[in-house]
Structure 1
Amino acid sequence: MPHPRLIATDLDGTLLRRGGSISPRTVRALRAAVDAGAEVVIVTARPPRYIDAVAVATGVTGIAVCSNGAQLYDIAPRTVISSRDLSLLTARRVATMLAESAPGLGFAVETGHQIRYEPAYQLRHGEHLGAESPVASLADLWLLDTPIVKLLAHSTRFEAEALVALAEQAAGGEAQFTHSGGRGLLEISAAGVTKAAALAALCAERGISASEVVAFGDMPNDLSFLGWAGTGYAMGNAHPDVLAAVARHTVTNEEDGVARVLEQLFT
């Protein structure tokens, strides 16, 4: 069979090991795929600022799908080339609806450059040190003069799956709700924003069909593009919903599951 034309891979729990490291074996496998003519596209919930270090470690260039599909990032010039933002009005309305359904939620907004959070938002993202900025109150969160890429809602009472269900019931149709495994963390994007939608649009620009794409992921926010790609692989460490929904499985991220598949495809 011909080589895939595009490799789409999530980062955390998929391409990267615990602590955000990447193995030499995985780097070699990615480079072999590129040398064979394939394009490697990172597809992640992470914002663009996180991609630069990964690109240096892997040698991956080109376009990354960031923020669960809200942003396309050109890695080499470090430039966001498109962004589907969540309107301030929608973010505020959704937050109000969610607060009524799940009291005690804390809220933060991801702008693409930093996270701004109100006092009730207790979650701290260690990898974003220096990019996190508090505001004095929830009301101050809605006074931002920068676009909102994602609204984040965190709960110490509810698991992420329960928050997604609550959000769909309270504000379904207002926005896109998902999670990427963060305990009690709900990720909210503009309606219609998914990893699959962004990847499909990128592939259409390149004349690449879904059947020519191989994808890797581990969390529920990956399900959309794992299902869209002609060949999707769930990692051995994937969320149970992902393992149940995706027919093909590879071994865990700690066992270089992505590299093992790429070695079979490109050697």
Structure 2
Amino acid sequence: MIRLIATDLDGTLLQPGGVLSDRTRATLHAVDADVVVVTARPPRFVQNLELTGTAICSNGAMIYDLTNREVTHAQTVPFDVVRKVSEALAEVIPNVGIAVETGLEVLSEPGFQGFGPKNPHRTLELLDHVFEEAHQVVQMLAWAPDAEVDHMMEIAREAVGQHVSVTHSGGLGLLEISPPGVSKAATLESLCNTRGIGKDEVIAFGDMPNDLSVLGWAGTAYAMGNAHPLVKQACTNHAPPNTEDGVAQILESLFRL
């Protein structure tokens, strides 16, 4: 019995361009199960999707109530760790630029060019100014020009993995760095425990390495047809790609909609 659906957004639930299709929206409203969005995105990117329920944001660092539009929980990276990680990455990744997600906005040094126009952020003159202005850090972002992100992730994990959690969602040369021990799966497991839901009652969908923790924890896991090779290798079940409403197709079949 499926009691909870955990789904990533970009490349999984959403069509290209961040669109939630009418078919997928109708399917999510029709299923007899809790729907939990589990994404690297911060709350401000999920609040206009016309979904209700819960969103686990910033790769597990934040829990957002979609119905009441409020953050109910946040885990932060201590500022001494932020500085230590920034210095360590600068030593091992050429031309790396650092940004921080505060939960309200992204602040970056000038060398960070990891976002396009659809992901606005505020650039400050010096990295020290970023640290001074950020009231908290729920996620760090590290970007390097022309870097191969899987290799970059390996280097970063070796350099700073004892201090933080490092992953990525497929962006060119863009790493996502969370508080130590924080992941999508850890936060989802805690949420399920409060609701009395076991992992065998959870079905999960994802497409990128930052989804692997959830896909490995859930009782049933689907890699999208457009997923990263590591994700496809990790999952026995494969859904059609997001461009074909793959999540909706699987749920329609399982719930006989």
Whole-angstrom CA distance in 1 between matches of 2:243 and 2:94: 37
Q: Mapping of 1:7-86 within 5 angstroms? A: 7-33=5-31, 36=32, 38-54=33-49, 56=50, 60-86=51-77
> 8 Å contact 1:32–1:266 — kept in the other structure?
no
What RMSD in Å do the two structures reach over aligned CA positions? 1.0
Which amino acid in the other structure matches residue 21 of structure 2? S
- Give the CA deviation at 1:157: 3.4
Give the structure-1-normalised TM-score: 0.93
Give the structure-2-normalised TM-score: 0.97
- Give the CA deviation at 1:145: 4.4
Aligned residue in 2 for 1:171: 160
Whole-angstrom CA distance in 2 between matches of 1:243 and 1:66: 23
Which amino acid in the other structure matches residue 35 of structure 2? V
Moved over 6 A (4+): none
Mean CA deviation greater in 222-231 or 24-33: 24-33
Is 1:114–2:127 an aligned residue pair? no
Is 1:241–2:220 an aligned residue pair? no
Aligned residue in 2 for 1:213: 202
Q: Deviations over 1:137-186 (max 9, x none)?
A: 12212213411011111001322111111111111211000000111001
> 8 Å contact 2:65–2:72 — kept in the other structure?
yes
Whole-angstrom CA distance in 2 between matches of 1:157 and 1:105: 11
> 8 Å contact 2:107–2:134 — kept in the other structure?
no
Identity of aligned residues (%): 49
Aligned residue in 2 for 1:200: 189
Which amino acid in the other structure matches residue 157 of structure 2? E
- Which 5+ residue runs of structure 1 have no aligned equivalent? none
- Give the CA deviation at 1:28: 1.7
- Give the CA deviation at 1:108: 0.6
- Give the CA deviation at 1:255: 0.8
> 8 Å contact 2:9–2:37 — kept in the other structure?
yes
SS at match of 1:264: helix
Which amino acid in the other structure matches residue 197 of structure 2? I
Q: Mapping of 1:84-99 within 5 angstroms? A: 84-99=75-90
SS at match of 1:168: helix
Whole-angstrom CA distance in 1 between matches of 2:208 and 2:222: 11
